Amino acid sequence: MTLWSITVLCALAALGVFGVWVFVLILGPNRMFRGTVVERAYFWVTESLPSKIERWARGSVGDAVAARAEQVWIVLFGRRNPLFQVIAVALYWTGVAVFFTQAAPYIPNRYVSSWQWLPIGTTLVANIGCYIAACTTDPGIVDDRNVDSACRLFGYDKLLYFERDCRTCKLRKPARSKHCSACQHCIQMMDHHCIWLNNCVGLGNARWFLGFLATFSIVCFYGAYLVGTVVMEQRHLRGLVSGAVVWDEWGQPIQLSFKSSILYILDNCPLLAVLFVLLLILAPAIGVFTAYQLRITMLGYTSNEESKWVNIADAIKDGVVFAIKDGSHEEAIRVIEKEDQGDFDSQLCRPITHLHQVPNVYDRGAWNNLKFVLHPARSKLHLL
């Protein structure tokens, strides 16, 4: 194995570890992974590991150095910072450059025709456009000029959201909003803060974020397919299709199988190999994340609200969630701590035993939820 091959394998291993880390951080709080190794890994990465590192740092290098390291961490991850955005853009354009220098000269080939350049160009332009829009569009910042209209957009369900002021902004906190410590604003219908965008994903730019994910998924899957056809074309051009024979460093003939011929080409085209393997790794990962974002959008909640629903599920297990009838005989879902349950009439309180019994008042049906995110200005207000 050559030094270059070892370097490529190490780089791909590092990329794989990074991909698993991102997967755990994004989907760890998801209800579908409750009680699984993914949830345990999420708590280990976000709670156990940082506390262990902090204890080790303070014991090894002293409080002063540990405090400075914490400040650096806050600058990198706790505030808006273009570093990761620059890294993402640099990696993206590096991949595009490798494609156009290593793969494009062999398109068209015996597997794909010249018309493939139309979807290639269209998808790349759409992907880049959606990324720029997601980065630059106001995600839904709440300030003193729009706080009243923002509070009218969604009602308070008194389960996930209560009418109160933001402790940081000192403004009324709209339902479905969250204060972002990185952006230092409350964001309407906030999903999450994305370091790759250097921006929050919220009501104002969620459609562009979905568009970016969808087109990036296509770029990765379609790119992997096209690079795969180039690798297959190389088999023909190098005479490795049938009865392929190459010579080793001692001049001895070696007959190659199909698998060996593919590995031989990838070993002789290292940049193409890195791009091919990278696309094969990214395509399913981005595809899964895109499907996840589309799913929660159509179900009428955000990834920020996902953690709130996890808390409600825990409260149901603890036996503190009830459906309470009011004077109009309608039921409202409320959390009643055990020490306060004696103050309520048991005939008017029905215990909730499963999360499916708790309606999401912000869910207006899959199609309407999607329409609201794609065209929030044209959609009707989601008033309770």
Q: Are 361 and 312 in contact (CB under 8 A)?
A: no
The string of pLDDT tens digits covering residues 119-161 is 999 999 999 999 999 999 999 999 999 999 999 999 998 899 9
Per-residue pLDDT tens, the chain, 384 aa: give them. 555 566 667 766 776 777 777 777 766 766 667 678 887 888 887 778 777 777 777 777 777 776 777 677 666 666 788 888 999 999 999 999 999 999 999 999 999 998 989 999 999 999 999 999 999 999 999 999 999 999 999 999 889 999 999 999 999 999 999 999 888 999 999 999 998 999 999 999 999 999 999 999 999 999 999 999 999 998 888 877 765 565 656 666 666 777 877 887 888 888 898 899 889 888 988 998 899 899 999 999 998 898 888 889 888 988 888 888 766 667 788 888 877 777 776 667 888 988 888 999 999 999 999 999 998 876 544 444
**Segments in the chain forming alpha helices (H):** 3-27, 37-43, 49-60, 63-73, 83-98, 117-136, 147-153, 206-237, 258-268, 270-299, 303-317, 366-374
pLDDT digit string, tens, across residues 173-185:
999 999 998 889 9
Is the pTM of the predicted complex or chain greater than 0.85? no
In angstroms, rounded to a whole number, what is the distance separating the alpha carbons of residues 202 and 190?
4
**239 torsion bin: left (phi>0), alpha (psi -120 to 50), beta (else):** left
